[in-house]
Structures are given as structure tokens and as C-alpha cells.
Chain A
Amino acid sequence: QKEVEQDPGPLSVPEGAIVSLNCTYSNSAFQYFMWYRQYSRKGPELLMYTYSSGNKEDGRFTAQVDKSSKYISLFIRDSQPSDSATYLCAMSRIKAAGNKLTFGGGTRVLVKP
């Protein structure tokens, strides 16, 4: 079993819909949670960063962390065709050796005009 599980998709939604993405994990020591967006043939870019449990909102993006369920989510409101990309979750322990991150496999999202 992988430490971080993420549905590969593709997840296809119409423009304007809410995109809902999630990851589950098995290591209860994870405290830092991140979401990256990766366009085709580009490096991932950091979208959201949360520490421990709770919600964080940034514009159209909302990240949620439920540590009791070992489950994190990313919501994209009013989705646009430019949101079509692969979304990767990543997480880390406090004082992880080398500050290493553990990544999910990524979910491909298609927003259709």
C-alpha cells in the first residue's frame, strides 16, 4: 500500500463547476500538506500549503485537512479551462530527514468550455 493515495482521473467537469480533489494517507506523522498544479511538460507549481488540520482559502482554491480521517481535499470554485492540469498532493513530517515530501500520483483534471 502506498503512503499517499490519489485517484489518477481524469476528472472531467464543465466550465464553472466545482472541482473536488482528494488524497488519503496512512502515516499519522504527516503534519504539512501541500497541493501542486502541473501543466503538461512543465514543473509542478505550489498552489496551497496547510499545516495540521483545518481549512485554508486562497481565491478560488480551498484546501481542507482532516487528520482524524487521514484525508485532504482541494476544491476549485468557478473552474476555468486554464485549470486543466494534473494536481499533486504532497505531505511531510515535522523535521523529516532532508525536509523530504511524499507525493501522491496526481489527478488529471479537464475543464471543458
Chain B
Amino acid sequence: SQTIHQWPATLVQPVGSPLSLECTVEGTSNPNLYWYRQAAGRGLQLLFYSVGIGQISSEVPQNLSASRPQDRQFILSSKKLLLSDSGFYLCAWTILGTSGRAYENEQFFGPGTRLTVL
């Protein structure tokens, strides 16, 4: 079975400090990977997605960046955090099916990292 891990679970960082959040997936190969941010009481905002190693698509311009150094590893980074970067960060993956297969779009989420920037 497939599992997804995120760490750390919680993080408190000062403004201007760097950030590195890691996500790994087990039990599948060549998944699509996604980073979302969820502000308190709000919906999910897609930040980045990746369809393969080294392939990153950015959805929202900001001071965050993402990298995929290995097939099942996805990293979210920042050189200098802002107060507005506080939120709940979620990593998700989806399996790739052949064209038209229903489960192609299902996304499965990790446990999340709660980031507080002070």
C-alpha cells in the first residue's frame, strides 16, 4: 500500500529565516506530487506540482520554491520567511493511470505541517 510522510509536523520560525519542508511517498513510482497551503478556516491553495524528477510547475508567485530531487521526494523551501507564509502545508500525490481511467485524478494527502512565522 502507498503511504505519504511529511515532516516536521509543526514548526515555529522567525520572520526572515529559511524553510525546508519535506514530503516522501512510499509504495508507488513516478507519482505526481503537489504542495498546498491552507490558511486558517480557508480552502486549499495549490502552490506547486511536479510530474517528474526536476520538473516543477509554480501556481502562485511568492517567495517559496519547490524541488524534486528524487522520484518520491518533494521539498518546499524558502530563503526568507514572511509572516504571511504561516499556514498548514499539505503534500499530496496522485497515481498515473491510462487515459480515461477514473482514478487518474484522485489525490491523497499527507498529515501536513503546521507552520507559524513570528
Contacts and interface: CB of A to CB of B under 8 A. Distances in A.
Nearest to A101: B107
A97 B103 CA distance: 15
Given A98-B51, A105-B43, A45 B109 contact: yes
Interface in B67-107: 88, 90, 92, 94, 96, 99-100, 102-107
A102 to B, nearest CB: 9
Nearest to A50: B102
A96 B96 CA distance: 12
Nearest to A31: B105
B99 A95 contact: yes
B102 A43 contact: no
A49 B102 contact: yes
Interface residues of B, number: 29
A43 B111 contact: yes
A18 B108 CA distance: 27
Given A88-B43, A106-B43, A99 B112 contact: no
A103 B38 CA distance: 11
B67 to A, nearest CB: 16
A106 B112 CA distance: 17
A88 B44 contact: yes
Given A98-B51, A104-B43, A43 B105 contact: no
B43 A96 contact: no
Interface of A: 6, 8, 32, 34, 36, 41-46, 49, 51, 88, 90, 92, 94-101, 103-106
Interface of B: 32, 34, 41-44, 46, 49, 51, 57, 88, 90, 92, 94, 96, 99-100, 102-112, 114
21 contacts: A8-B41, A34-B106, A41-B88, A41-B114, A43-B90, A43-B110, A43-B111, A43-B112, A46-B107, A46-B108, A51-B102, A88-B44, A90-B107, A95-B99, A96-B105, A98-B34, A98-B51, A99-B32, A99-B94, A105-B42, A106-B42
9 tightest CB-CB pairs across the interface, nearest first?
A43-B109, A105-B43, A92-B105, A98-B49, A103-B44, A32-B105, A43-B112, A51-B102, A44-B109
